[in-house]
Amino acid sequence: MTTRVLLMAEACNPEWTSVPLVGYNFARALAENPHLDVTLVSHVRNQEALQRDAIANAARLVFINNEWIAKPLYTLGRLLRGGKSLGWTTNMAVNWPAYIAFELQAARQLKSELQSGAFDIIHRITPVSPTLPSALATKTDVPMVIGPLNGGLPWPKEYPQLRGKEREWLVPVRNAYRKLPWYQKSYRRLAGVIAGSRHTQSETPEGFQGQRLYMPENGIDPARFQIADAWTPPGERFQFVSVGRLVPYKGFHLTLQAMAASPVLRECDFVIIGDGPEKERLQTLAADLGLAERVTFAGWMPQEEVAGILRASQAFVFPSLREFGGGVVLEAMASGLPSIIVDYGGPSELIDARTGIAIAMQAEKTLIPELTQAMEQLATHPMLCEAMANAALDSVRQNHVWSAKASRMETLYQRLLSRDESDTVPVDLSVQNGIDQTEVLSYT
């Protein structure tokens, strides 16, 4: 039986990064599932990219043009944030009206189809922020699920200066979104909510009576990001690698200081892929620590080149102090790398003792020595690296490729459509996953 899905993905673009690329990958995997008939609704800014992509042959495409409000609010958001890299809470607050307008316009544009039963289920995959309600859910009786949602991870108390450096001035009033129009009504109407992280799962309103589910929002597309066959042994020197925006909370400065503290690590290479406002400061720090010849700032590069550097490296080091999802961690796992992460937020839900080393969140003066020790452990134990890399590759192949995620979503759609309306108790897998009254859509 084919399930007719109205897929909402305001951010959905195969040629961009971050949330738009996540939205695209999930949408394409669902559209290519033979048991799903997908109508994809996205923003007009994505029209050209989607129409020239293979997804145009797998799904019906519908575009919403709300640039009358989205464009000026985007400009205002960049002005208030001082660019595009910082102040994500401010960005979401400023763009709240534009997204509400997007869903209301979609409801009007598809009104006759929504009323005539053209769709079995609605699934909103982007935006991923839990602060944005669904106005569409209040306008139709078609069962609707949203997610994976991710966000709201508290700033670590061990680093009180980070919030200011990231220009997150609105954090103290962030929870005001719960009082905004459509929020409570959305959750009363939704059939399911998928959390992309354990923290976001804990923020689901108590009055919500639908299915509570969990699935990390990132995934791997083997056609675009080749999964490695095995771990690559070091050549002349052991090479660490990291990927991300060069902003304070990503922790690149911690890795540099950890390397400087160790004679063993001073003989290793470290490649940093990415760019951002911290680049000059980090370059100066590397020089001051005597690491200029060992640290390469590669800048931004195409994903194919990123994958090549990852596969040529021996370990991924990513001590980000506040990370929601950790898509780069999945890419490292898919590249056959053991990972070193801080046990806080999204990366800690992807990495376990089989696939890497998780360092407890703590103050910098104690975190750096533990980071040094973890890096030394990998740099001096190739058999450990290989074992962790093999476990990481197995995990990616079984749990995190987009086609596997789409198959699990297909199962979820059928469960939501077949449930008795009086049954409000979610499937409980808490015995094996430690989650109360939650269906888990990833295998750990």
Predicted pLDDT at 436: 36
| Burial of residue 293, with CB atoms counted within 10 A of its CB: 0-12 exposed, 13-18 middle, 19 or more buried | exposed
Q: For residue range 326-363, what is the model confidence (pLDDT) as tens digits?
A: 899 999 999 999 999 999 999 999 999 999 999 999 99
Predicted pLDDT at 142: 97
Predicted pLDDT at 67: 93
Summarize the confidence of residues 178-193 as an average pLDDT. Answer: 90
Q: Which of 89, 220, 73 is closest to 167 using CA atoms?
A: 89
pTM strictly above 0.95:
no
Predicted pLDDT at 2: 95
Tokens of 354: 């089989």
Q: Three-state DSSP class for 240? A: strand
pLDDT bracket for residue 439 (50, 70, 90):
very low
Direct distance between the N- and C-terminal alpha carbons of the chain, in angstroms, rounded to an integer:
29
Q: Is the pLDDT of residue 106 over 70?
A: yes
Q: For residue range 109-165, what is the model confidence (pLDDT) as tens digits?
A: 999 999 999 999 999 999 998 889 999 999 999 999 999 999 888 889 999 888 766
Task: Note the CATH number of domain 3-219+401-440.
Answer: 3.40.50.2000
> Fold identical between 3-219+401-440 and 239-399?
yes
Burial 333-352 (b: 16+ CB within 10 A, else e): bbbbbbbbbbebbbbbbbbe
Tokens of 207: 């009055």
Predicted pLDDT at 90: 58
Q: For residue range 271-302, what is the model confidence (pLDDT) as tens digits?
A: 999 999 999 999 999 999 999 999 999 999 99
Among 3.40.50.300, 3.40.50.2300, 3.40.50.2000, 3.40.190.10, name the CATH number for the domain at 239-399.
3.40.50.2000
Q: For residue range 18-38, what is the model confidence (pLDDT) as tens digits?
A: 899 999 999 999 999 999 999
Predicted pLDDT at 166: 61
* Dist CA 264 CA 383 (whole Å): 17
Q: Where are the domains of the chain?
A: 3-219+401-440, 239-399
* Dist CA 287 CA 276 (whole Å): 18
